[in-house]
Structure 1
Amino acid sequence: MNKTILFAFLFVQNITFAQSLERSLSSESWQFKHSKENKWLSAKVPGTVHLDLMNNNIIQDPFKDENEKKAQWIENEDWDYQVSFSISSKELKNDHVNLVFNGLDTFSEIYLNGKLLRKTDNMFRKWEVPVKQYLRPGDNLLQIKFKSAVNTGKELAKKVPFTMPESPRSFVRKAQYQFGWDWGPRLVTAGIWKDVKLEFWNRAKFENIKIEQKSISDKNADLNIHTSILADKEGKYTVVINNKSNTVQLKKGHNKISIPFAIQNPKLWQPNGWGEAHLYDMRFSLKKDSQTLSDEAMKIGLRTVELVQEKDEKGKSFYFKVNGNPLYIKGTNWIPADSFSPRITKEKYQKLIKDSKEANMNMIRIWGGGIYEDDEFYKACDENGILVWQDFMFAGSFYPADEAFLNNVKEEVKDQVNRLQNHPSIALWCGNNEIDEAIVNWGYQKQFKYSKNDSIQVWKDYKKLFHDVIPNTLKENLTADKNIYWPSSPSIGWGHKESLTEGDSHYWGVWWGEQPFEIYNEKVGRFMSEYGFQGMPTLETTQSMFSGIPDLNLQNLTIKAHEKHGKGWEIINEYMKRDYQIPADFVKYNYVSQLLQARGMQIAIEAHRRARPYNMGTLYWQLNDCWPVVSWSSIDYLGNWKAFHYQAKRSFQPVLISVSETSGAYEVYYINDLLNNIKINSKVELVDFEGRVLWSVVATESLLANSGKKYLEIKKETFSKFDLSKAVLKVTVGNGSLQSEKLFFFSKPKDLKLSKPNIRIKKISQAEIEISTDVLAKDVYLIGDTHFSDNFFDLLPNTSKKISLSKPLEKVEVMSLWDTYSLKNRIK
């Protein structure tokens, strides 16, 4: 048995109080310029050079039209930033003044009053410099000179004796997606992308606080508070934890102090679907002679997490046990929510995480080609019960392992782990995205004509970085109870049999392999951490691709430019031809492309969930977008739910009904993710599209807690006398408070014998409407400038559905699948 256990007492967010004497420099009047020019222009901090160029009308928005192509020159240039700020004599009386940059992108030189303070080479590190001796009363000049990351990366690449794939991005510690991906533009940024501040302190200050959960019971949570304290004077100090004082003896310099702390009758932090994500307020103060020297506040969560890997007759398990119970993971993959990450607002973070919670998710994987996200992301996950699978920022390439690169990565890991480790949402640290697979499966060695020694070196470098430096740095900087490390996702590439019997799997036989959606029923691994299919964004987001009046045409060059996969349109059309009639009209094509994506992902998710406990997790690719684009996302760049997100919400329901077709039968499964047994009344009916019941069976069932099971098998000959192209299997379960329904269609959408529905929309209130129909309305699509609580749903006759609106609408337009049928296929 290989069991990695994480008993974690986890903190949310560090909040610095006024008495910490911090002063932001971000709001000062910053300027920037091209390094070879003399004219200074206004700049915003945090920001990027692209945003500053846009704000000064030097470039057009790269998200519009084909403007991305016109912005490529920016990545090859050097850029200078500066700000003049005033320091008072009172401020200079503080014993220490530190200049703190939380993010510089990427290669820069920092000057204060003409003095070179530091050179930087990593977007993901925090840079802190003592500056009191360089400051003067009155005006001071701070300058940051950025070198082109592309040009610098090319120079670094020359030091390696063979060609590295994805050069130069592999050589620069910055967000890899900026160099272009199959869902994102190439916009390689530079700039001060996080806040800048001056920190004033005297005598001593907290450097870091780490919380170790020693044990937890119904009566008591026993914790150790590990804190690093920097002191410039030896002596006795007081650490106050929630009004409880502790005397500590500090030496001059760095001190590591551990203080026991207990919480009585603790409430656990529970993942979404299992209860409240309970958080406690905590406050820490460092005092000397009754004077507060340093002060921090946090919210904390108590919970345990284990990653369980046990050998069995089919391979090896891979599942998370949370608070002592196996948790079936339901969720998604996250990419940065903007190509220019400084403009991602707190509101956008909160909305995307709440949309994930509403869709019944309990985990998000932060993909390794993006960024370590803003504190607000993890705060939102903490508050909403969403666990986080945290990749380190390496993706889809080979990486160097020279001493300078490894030391840089080590400091990056230290900075990020110290910032993030106390969040209750963090469940796992993962070394990289798809690099093990890239080395083994992608054929780079043959493509770049590697010698045997070159190939050996690549593998040695990989092992050094992901099996030595990163995990050892984690051990050095995490309390032992928090260290769940997984070297690479996936653990085995999708072409190998073992990829479905152990570890986590990225299955891309659908889309990349162009296999039919139905292959998802066969290709089920122990934990599916990536799989997906593209769909178009909503009409609103598609229109936002244009700077002028949108020309909504599949041949339009702007539309084509916002599909980054080389064969994207070809693949979508091939799959659409298999399952749907391909509409000529753009609006209908947009609608069907969303249905196609939702259909494929429904097949995948439900195949995974039916396979529990063999399979114990499904994370689809991907939740969100970084710009307006045709992609695998379920929520488009403007935050609109695509058909897929509505379907994900249904397929992730805590109590799921799923129907599977085999060669000889239709099998009905009930899956219960809740922690309690449920007794339900179950009804299975064959209903035609006019609402007539052709066959039925009823039963009372007991659904065991946290389990899934096949409850009914219907032989195909049972329905042999019926025309199943105009009938649906309707399965309902309920017990009063719980009501769930599943409609299973026997034919592909293009082969259904649909009649034109008369869809009626009744206004109940400003915030609610009711939908009804005379015959089956397949894939009802409500169109309007509002968020509908449900959309892209099927509606049987003699039933109705109430829909809430995020804001009132005078008129709601409606479409259904029948509207996409060609005239010759329509039933009058």
Structure 2
Amino acid sequence: MFKKITLFLIFICYSVSAQTSYRNLSTENWTFNKQHEVQKHKATIPGTIHTDLFQNQLIPDPFFGANEKQLQWIENENWEYETHFILSESELKNQNIDLEFVGLDTYATVFLNGKQVLEANNMFRKWTISAKNYLKKGKNHLKVVFHSAVQKGKEEASKLPYTLPEKERIFVRKAQYQFGWDWGPRFVTAGIWKKVQLKFWNSAKIENIKYSQIELNDKKAILEFTTEIYVSKVKTIQLKINDKSQTFNLKKGKNRIQMQYEITNPKLWWCNGLGDPNLYPFTVEISQKNQFLDTIKLDIGLRTIELIQERDQAGKSFYFKLNGKSVFMKGANVVPPDSFLPRISDSTYFSLVENAKKANMNMLRVWGGGVYFDDAFYEACDANGILVWQDFMFACSMYPGDEKFVENVKQEVIDNINRLQNHPSIAIWCGNNENDEGWHNWGWQKQFNYSKADSTQIWNEYKKVFHEMIPKTLDSLLPKEKNIYWSSSPSKGWGRKESLTQGDVHYWGVWWGKEPFEMYEKKVGRFVSEYGFQGMPSLETLQKVVAVEDLNFTSEAFKNHQKHPIGYETINEYMERDFVVPKDFEDYLYVSQLLQARGMKIAIEAHRRAKPYCMGTLFWQLNDCWPVTSWSSLDYYGNWKAFHYQAKKSYENLLISVQEENDSYKICIVNDDLQTISGNLEIQNIDFKGKLLFSKSLKIVVKPNSRGSYFTLLKTAISEVDLKKSLLNIIFISEKKLTSTAFYFVKPKALALEKPTIAIKKIDDLTIEVTTDVLAKNVYFSTEGNNHISDNYFDILPNQVYRINLSKPSKEIRIKSLFDTFN
């Protein structure tokens, strides 16, 4: 929103001589240098010290090979950024000039024309200085000194009589993942990471605007807008909201004025899969005697959202109602899309959300170890019907609770709530990621030898931030319909029985606990907000950051792109359980993706079959911050892994899923739609050559927003020989669409696959049809360049014609199937 507003304001200001305008200082000629060094180098704003050093060829590519290890010195230095800019006489005539830093990373001392004007200590806050008295006509000098966040954190840590987990990072209000994570490198950045600008205004400016829904029904919606306006002296202004206006008398200083707006026959905002994400555009404008003063634009979605927690026989429910309808949440956790945040463009956020929508997701969780994303992310979620679970930026530790720290965090909360609260996509605000679980389950008390007094103080300071300050601040800022707060995710650790009967759960028995994938079917929580399994990226992705000679499991470069200490060992252990382990390196990459997709398919379908006991599944994780082996379904470059293709299928509103029981196979259908679906269910047992061994057809009616079992196939109906050589092909044909799934009786390594002859027929430059003589399992297509394929890693049955689309024409299409890795 902010970028759109800025462009709009610049146009208005210089077209009609309006009173509010902006001057982007990010585009001036900036330089940087290491403190106490004379030589200066060209800087890019917004930017980071790492990217500036790289662009000036002073360091190698941080992502390539094992370069990360030799670049750790950067975090311990202080860095200086400066520029000169010319201020015209007409600009200086404005009554007020604010210097605005939208983001400073992190400890920064700002000097304007030689005078210190700011000490910043939080990269998540916006910093505004009344700068009129420091500026002059002609040449002005702006300098920002960044102090090492690592050194500052260590200084703060040394003041405590005990050690908190994760050492220096928790004292520093900056992106926590930059200190290194089990999927990300350690690059502790510094710099002007968002734009810096001058704001010129005279008699009045809009400081903030928010709205609440006074009434919402089929016939009308009544919105009440609260506009915060700062005026330099007593005055009368006109407030205009779209086509309606009202006059207000304002006192000098900050004023809060309210005005209602009615919409007849309103259209509701719905999440992806349930309806259109309708948005109403609003322009809020203030003027005096028909002279424009300031304006803000926003898009509003009309909806209600509730978090339902009710006692039941099993424990307590945890689900969301959108517009009065219970919704099963399907989605993923999102991390920052780059280690160097200024490199993330609006288009990167748009692409992330679009890929989530294409995979039939309706919720994304913004994880608490990263950053509050740019406006572009939330605007994309608004427009595409993706609900947002928004963490505050705390993760996997205990944090200080002294008065200075708490006040800093409070201002951070205020800044970000004011910026984000008008987005209809935001469903819930969450205090932190895994801090509560870590305190109660990870053994920190023993590890750090806390006394009883230490433990009491640490926990009391935790409560001060997450049980008191944050919820109280939300209560003061948000209307009731926007104020759903959850203090910590998960509410209970995955090793505790209560984690599966109430609240949300991060289930890591698979992967961390090395439990088999089948355990996903037994350990199902009420809302599973984290779980996952790693899959390696493609060879093409790895080749961009690892030299050809280092593409093996023993090289330091390759090891550096796996941040879990026993990640490759764990992948291999699970692969041995379920697949024939390939000897060829490229085949291994491919099978690791199939392994990840298989495990996640079992998990997602188990969660959805448990509806309405379970009402949410958000896997870890959607994306990466650099090219790496991780739990992501999209790699750093946005390429779909096998898992993302599988997620698209497993998240469809109508899901066919087979559940194996002791003596039978139960065919379940889950309907997340709000309408009843009728059709024919076809159940076929066929061998890998296409021979029909058994068939059953029945007409069924699937109720809205439900799940049910529609057929049970006894195991005695299938011979032992057929298990390795046949499958269940299940097809549901309704008026709307055809949905199908293939179910295999044994693990992939036990399948008696034959070599398929796969034929490709070109329909046009972007469309091909594929056929095979025998079952072709997990067919993978690859092309030259960045070419997205509509479906991939899929099975083709004999006598089936499978059509796929390319995003652009390709001269060569390469094909691989699982059979190719068996030999």
When the two structures are superposed, what TM-score results if normalisation uses the length of structure 2? 0.98
* 1:377 paired residue number: 377
What SS does the corresponding residue of 2:741 show, helix, strand or coil?
strand
Given that residues 304 and 481 in structure 2 are in contact (C-alpha distance below 8 angstroms), is that contact kept between their aligned partners in structure 1?
Answer: no
Deviations 1:504-545 (A, max 9, x none): 000000000000000000000000000000000122111111
Aligned to 1:742: 741
1:675-710, Cα deviation, whole Å (9 max, x unpaired): 110111101110100001101110000011111111
- Cα separation, 2, equivalents of 1:721 and 1:457: 62
**Alignment-derived partner of residue 17 in structure 2:** none
The correspondence of residues 343-358 of structure 1 with structure 2, limited to 5 A, is: 343-358=343-358
| Residue 337 (1) aligns with residue 329 (2) | no
What amino acid sits opposite 1:427 in the alignment?
A
Q: Kindly indicate whether the alpha-carbon contact (under 8 Å) linking 1:13 and 1:423 is maintained by their aligned counterparts in 2.
A: no
SS at match of 1:152: helix
Q: Which residue of 2 aligns with 1:440?
A: 440
Given residue 606 of structure 1, which amino acid in structure 2 is its aligned partner? E
Answer yes or no: is the 8 Å Cα contact 1:99–1:198 preserved in 2. yes
2:172 aligns with 172
Distance 1:645 1:423, change over 3 A: same
Structure 1 letter corresponding to 2:617: T
In 2, distance between residues paired with 1:120 and 1:595? 47
Q: What residue in structure 2 maps to residue 649 of structure 1?
A: 648
SS in 1 for 2:696: strand
Equivalent residue, structure 2, for 1:621: 620
Q: Please say if residues 527 and 618 of structure 1, whose CA atoms lie closer than 8 Å, have aligned partners that are also in contact.
A: yes
Cα distance, 1:721 vs structure 2: 6.1
Q: Tell me the residue number matched to 1:594.
A: 593
Alignment of 1:376-525 (within 5 A): 376-525=376-525
Shift of 1:737: 2.8
**Aligned-pair CA distance for 1:481:** 2.3
Alignment match, 1:730: 729
- Identify the residue that residue 526 of structure 1 maps to in structure 2: 526
Contact 1:12 1:424 in 2 (8 A): no
Distance 2:325 2:719 in 1: 44
Summarize the alignment of residues 249-398 of structure 1 with structure 2, pairs less than 5 Å apart: 249-398=249-398
User: What secondary structure sits across from 1:230 in the alignment?
Assistant: strand
Structure 2 match to 1:189: 189
Counterparts of 2:740 and 2:124, CA distance in 1:
47
Q: CA deviation at 1:13?
A: 7.2
| Equivalent in the alignment of 2:689 | 690
> 1:17: which partner in 2?
9
Kept in 2, the 8 Å contact 1:103–1:125? The answer is: yes
**More deviation, 717-726/649-658:** 717-726
Instruction: Please tell me whether residue 804 in structure 1 is matched to residue 805 in structure 2.
Output: yes
CA distance in structure 2 between the aligned counterparts of 1:486 and 1:642, rounded to whole angstroms: 32
CA distance in 2, matches of 1:479, 1:228: 16
Distance in 1, Cα, partners of 2:274 & 2:453: 52
Distance across 2 between alignment mates of 1:13 and 1:453: 52
Letter in 1 for 2:150: V
- SS of residue matched to 1:723: helix
Q: Which runs of 5+ in 2 are unaligned?
A: 14-19
SS at match of 1:606: helix
Residues 347-389 of structure 1: CA distance to partner in whole angstroms, max 9, x if unpaired?
A: 1111111010000000000000000001111111111100000
Q: How many residues align?
A: 812
How big is each residue's C-alpha offset from its partner over 1:70-107, in whole Å with a ceiling of 9 and x where there is no partner? 11000000000001001011011111000000100000
Partner of 1:705: 704
- The answer to whether the Cα contact below 8 Å between 2:2 and 2:375 also exists between their aligned partners in 1 is no
> In the alignment, which residue of structure 1 is the partner of 2:16?
none
Amino acid at match of 1:102: V
CA distance in 1 between partners of 2:342 and 2:151 (Å) = 23
Q: Per-residue deviation at 1:722?
A: 4.9
Give the Cα–Cα distance (whole angstroms) in 2 for the partners of residues 392 and 737 of structure 1.
41
Percent of aligned pairs with the same residue?
A: 55
| Letter in structure 2 aligned against 1:72 | Q
Q: Is the 8 A contact 1:11 1:300 kept in 2?
A: no
For 1:689, the aligned partner's letter is: F
* Inter-partner Cα distance in structure 2 for 1:681 and 1:177: 50
Question: How do 1:142-221 residues align onto structure 2 when only pairs under 5 Å count?
Answer: 142-221=142-221
**In 1, Cα distance between equivalents of 2:206 and 2:483:** 23
Instruction: Report the equivalent of 1:630.
Output: 629
In structure 2, the partner of 1:561 is 560
Paired position in structure 2 for 1:787:
788
Structure 1: gaps of 5 or more residues: 1-9, 823-828
- Tell which deviates more after alignment, 624-633 or 722-731: 722-731
Does the aligned pair in 2 maintain the 1:12–1:300 contact within 8 Å?
no
Matches within 5 A, 1:710-721: 710-720=709-719
| Alignment partners' CA distance in 1, 2:610 and 2:798 | 33
* Corresponding residue for residue 74 of structure 2: 74
**Given residue 796 of structure 1, which amino acid in structure 2 is its aligned partner?**
L
Deviation at 1:243, TM superposition (A): 2.4
Moved more, 628-637 or 157-166: 157-166
Rounded Cα–Cα distance in structure 2 between residues aligned with 1:657 and 1:480: 38
Kindly indicate whether residue 82 of structure 2 is the aligned counterpart of residue 90 of structure 1. Answer: no
Output the aligned Cα RMSD.
1.2
Question: Given residue 601 of structure 2, which amino acid in structure 1 is its aligned partner?
Answer: Q
Report the residue type matching 2:590 in the other structure: Y
Deviation digits for residues 417-459 of structure 1, max 9, x if unmatched? 0000000110000000000001001111111111111111111
Q: Secondary structure at the match of 2:602?
A: helix
Partner of 2:611: 612
Cα deviation for residue 279 of structure 1 reads 1.1
Equivalent position SS for 1:299: strand
| SS of the residue 1:90 aligns to | helix
d(CA) in 2 for partners of 1:496 and 1:549? 46
Instruction: Specify the SS of the correspondent of 1:462.
Output: helix
Q: Relative contact order (alpha carbons < 8 A, sep ≥ 6): 1 or 2 greater?
A: 1
Measure how far apart 1:788 and its partner are. Answer: 0.6
How many angstroms does 1:555 deviate by?
A: 2.1
| Distance in 2 between residues matched to 1:77 and 1:557, nearest whole Å | 26
**Structure 2 equivalent of residue 3 of structure 1:** none
**2:58 partner SS:** coil
Provide the rounded CA distance (Å) in 2 between the counterparts of 1:423 and 1:404: 30
CA deviation map 1:26-79 (0-9, x unaligned): 111111000020111100000000000001111111100110001100000000
